[in-house]
Structure 1
């Protein structure tokens, strides 16, 4: 199980005046800092899939990077199986399988060579590496290109290889940041089936997406982030009254409009305070 409590993360701005000069300052920009994530909490139990949604710039990727251990939060905690992710020697981080837009594998190596290399980095024995490679090549439909160099693969093939690299060590928790972006129908379907297989195996899976059809198909839980804050956390059906993607989209847009109204009020208050 993964529990996330009150995460916050800010970044120093190189040019604090840039947002003000454009006339569209994000209310999270305060002084010399941009508060990308201000208050995010969520949880995902074994055998559940949690969909993380929100507009571009809402703080989803920053949140997922903190959940994976890549970023240290300024405030809050991430607890995996009762252990705090950011307060140990790194052993808890090895329980996480993380895929982001910057996850990389060596392009001059074959898919199998990459998986063997990263498996060994995680301390897998040669026989366990072989076992994991066989399983992942089957689950992600990679047998036809497992011996080809990554350099020569299509985008969909590379993404499947990236996913295999992220989970070769059989992590306790899986975190994917927009795993199907830019992929064709067949590659997308393979990845969605893989996520479902991890759910059936009893692993918590958290993934962000802009495709509400994917949320409708896979998710048990939903987390909505708007302007750096958790706007909804709970069962998928309770969000819009059903799993229907159209209903999910309608409810999300309503919440987003309310959130933008509140954010606009906050920005106006900040401007008045500056003038005073």
Structure 2
């Protein structure tokens, strides 16, 4: 608020006082004085999906390459959530998509109501598929969420068609970016999830994240690079820098505006490598 002064008047003093109070929120109308276009509504719990914060926080466009990140052949995949509803899997299969990941759970309070159609439908057309869990480290422990995930679609079997589960750990759509955790606290939470998932399934889960979030919220930890495959999010023509320790990515979510469903991905290798990951 800008106040024009023309001498000391009661009206001028009142306006000046109001200008001081509004930024502090003492008048009860400070938020209303802000441009509504600058405020973002908090979405309902359960509505998060893989890559929800990538465009807003990580942007789009080219970024210098990561050096050792790309192999010669890439295999197309997709990831879906309840937002896609019933998916036209045959259309995706005919377009060259060979693998898929389906959101199963979030926190310990949400299960994807379209999970059966998406998980079974992708399998039925011939895809190798798996499921993912959207992490909310501020609600319950990593082990508790791993159990919830495994109990509700996140398990694994050595059938040659089931990929290991994914921990989707990224920007918090419901509050503080790092879920109120320090870097060491976040690493401990992820380790808790990873350990429990391995205990329940015999597999190390894939970690889905973005380099910028990982740097900010884990301190760029390299603790998982030797055990957990990396699924990197970067909507650009190249992957760019990878989180610490990982010499290459296993999967790359490269766009949120692909055909049939928005989120399209590349597996860093040919179909035999997708099958190898499924077989453990």
With normalisation by structure 2, the TM-score equals 0.30
Greater strand content: 1
Greater relative CO (CA pairs within 8 A, separation 6+): 1
More helix by share: 1
